[in-house]
Amino acid sequence: MQPRSAITSPAPHPAGRLLAVLTILVFVNYLDRYVLAMLLEGIKADLSLTDAQVGLLTGGAFALLYSTLALPVARLAEHRNRVTVLTASVLLWSLATALCGMAGSFAALMAARMLVGAGESGAVSPAQSMIGDAFPIARRGTAMAVFSTGGALGTALAPVLGGYLDHALGWRTTMLVLGAVGIPVALLLVTLVRDPPRGLSDGAIRTGSPPSMMIALRSLFARPAFVLLVPAMVAIGIAEYSLFLWLPSYLERTFDQPTIKVGVWLTLFQGLPLLVGTMAGGVLADRLIVRDRRWLAWLPMCACLVAAISIAFIFMSSRLEIALAMLVLPSVALGLYLAPSYAMVQAVAGARSRATAVATFTLAVNLLGLGLGPLLVGALSDWLHSALGDQSLRYALLVVCPIYLTAAGFFFLAAHALPQSIASAANE
């Protein structure tokens, strides 16, 4: 039987400084991840790739190690200093990103992307578990929103920065520049951030050993809200990665637009609304859970419904102006789900299992979502190309609409089980 952690009284912790640096970290993480979407057409032409190969580069190559290493790295973070784990991760993915720019073949680029995934596997779960320990549940939605804003800002600026850098430097030098950005982030971590004690936000620090991985996973999957949240987030992952990574290519091909213009438009009509939705999601979640904690699931459910309907209009439109205007709605909606979803993960996990809970989602969401989503759309586009030509990608991307509806259904079911699951986690 696993011994219960020892409990001591909490001491003050510089939570604001921690949150600021982690937000910068996730900004660089998402910038690195989504700039690739702006480079795909150049990479495809330079290395003579098919859409299916491009989908494998953006999805499976990255997701394989990113997902499978998530749990081992999370367990390391449960036992060791999380700042050290984060710093090593940043340096590894930065080196791997630079190696992408040196790749001379599909195989070499795929290997480098897999190494990027290995580095980034240690970013999200330690960071979110630190936030879970630094901020109590009443403030956690806003804290997660601020953290998620870093990712949203990285996603927002990736198109315009990627388009500009690709135009000015080419895709290879762009990768080298992105690789260098991680070095100052690593310095910020080691100089400014202190790992918060486990259980600090719950009012009692737990100093004993964390539960074993099997005990932690058994406890998590005994909570119905957690079980239902996994397929909800997997469905969102499949749809979201497909949408974000293929949308630049869609606009370039379907409307015959240059990369640099597409980058500006995506920042204005996708990135900035995503940023607004992300902050709004955290503030709304903190206010609504005072009335009913089930809003942690209801808010993402509503966001998925809005996304499914509005995305259908985007890809059925034959006019660029209408497609861009409609893009604002799902972008705001996809920002709204982030903070309450992450806060829900922390709420249903025990104080010594928070990194493990996040890593479980990372494994499922990215192995299936990132691994399958872009590849599925790319393969479907190749299959439709003989009949539809450059319009094949338009119809392949419509597959994301029913996937968002599926996610909404799982969030609806998770809301019913949420209060009991939170109570169970608090007693762990």
Q: List the chain pLDDT tens, one digit each, 428 residues.
A: 444 444 443 334 578 889 999 999 999 988 887 788 788 888 888 988 888 888 788 766 777 777 778 778 878 887 888 899 999 999 999 999 999 999 889 999 999 988 888 888 888 888 888 888 888 777 777 888 888 888 878 877 888 888 888 888 989 999 999 999 999 999 999 999 888 877 665 555 555 666 677 887 888 888 999 999 989 999 998 998 888 878 888 888 888 888 888 888 888 898 889 888 988 888 888 888 888 889 999 999 999 999 999 999 999 888 999 999 999 999 999 888 888 888 888 788 876 677 778 778 777 777 787 777 888 888 898 899 888 887 888 999 999 999 999 999 999 999 999 998 888 877 66
How far apart are alpha carbons 197 and 11 in whole angstroms?
9
- Report the alpha-carbon distance of residue 169 to residue 223 in Å, rounded: 50
pLDDT for 368: 80
Cα 313 to Cα 282: distance, rounded to the nearest angstrom: 27
Residue 269, pLDDT score: 92
Q: Collapse the DSSP code of 215 into the 3-class scheme (helix H, G, I; strand E, B; otherwise coil) and give the result.
A: helix
Give the range of the structural domain holding residue 346, as residue numbers without chain letter: 13-200+209-426
**Which residues are paired to 38 by β-bridges?**
none
Residue 343 CA: distances (Å) to CA of 140, 245, 339, 354: 6, 26, 6, 11
CB-CB contact of 359 with 220 (8 Å): no
390: DSSP letter: G
Q: Mark out the alpha helices in 200-271 (DSSP H runs).
A: 213-221, 224-254, 259-266
3-class DSSP state for residue 317?
A: coil
Q: Give the span between the Cα atoms of 64 and 114, in whole angstroms.
A: 7
pLDDT at position 62: 76
The whole-number pLDDT of residue 241 equals 83
For the whole model, what pTM was predicted? 0.70
Q: Does any domain span residue 397?
A: yes
CA 289 vs CA 121, 137, 213, 418: distances in Å: 30, 10, 30, 11
3-class DSSP state of 69: coil
CATH number at residue 365: 1.20.1250.20
Residue 169 in any domain: the answer is yes
CA 402 to chain centre: 20
Is residue 282, in this structure, part of any structural domain at all?
yes
Q: How many domains does the chain have?
A: 1
**47 lies in a domain?**
yes
Within-domain flag for 275: yes
Residue 5 lies in a domain: no
Instruction: State the DSSP string of 120-187.
Output: HTTTHHHHHHHHHHHS-HHHHHHHHHHHHHHHHHHHHHHHHHHHHHHHHH-HHHHHHHHHHHHHHHHH
pLDDT of residue 300: 94
User: Has residue 422 been placed in a domain?
Assistant: yes
Residue 87: enclosing H or E segment and its boundaries? helix 82-100
Does 2 reside within a domain?
Answer: no
The helix or strand, by DSSP H or E, that contains position 37, with its residue range, turns out to be: helix 15-47
Q: Which of 148, 234, 285, 225 is nearest to 407 (CA)?
A: 234
Give the model's pLDDT for residue 396. Answer: 92
Torsion of CA 196, 32, 324, 149, to 10 degrees: 10
